[in-house]
Amino acid sequence: MLTHIFSVLNSMANQKKIELANRVEPELQVTQFFEPLKILIYNLVTNAIHFSEKADITIQASENGNNITISVSDEGSGMTPEQIKNIMADQFIVSSANVDNKKGNGLGYLIIKDLLKMMGAQIQISSEKNIGTTVYVELPK
């Protein structure tokens, strides 16, 4: 799945001198939610590329009990606690505001939140301004 996603996004990443790194063990398999998970990861990586310059984006995954945790980490512009709070809010508002000279409308995160609901997954965001962001998605196997 990641090979396919990376093949689609590599040209966008290469334009910004960003390295996409797949750190998922090849034997890890997801048997349900394949297409929604692919769309979710695509959106997370696209967001990471959009808010990064000349940095690495790494995807990792691990099994823990009956769940799989997937993380997408970047060394991009990061987010403030307020930005994270807005994204995580149930009443997330789509905005075309210019944040850190990066234009976005928030639709990527609306799609992500819909996919998370459909899969029964949870999201957690860890970020530090000017350092980077890691998004963790925990979903049932």
Domains and CATH numbers, the chain: 2-140 (3.30.565.10)
Mean pLDDT of 18-42: 91
| Residue-by-residue DSSP string for 113-134 | HHHHHHHT-EEEEEEETTTEEE
pTM assigned to the model? 0.87
Task: Give the pLDDT band of residue 105 (cuts 50, 70, 90).
Answer: very low
Contact 127, 134 (CB under 8 A): yes
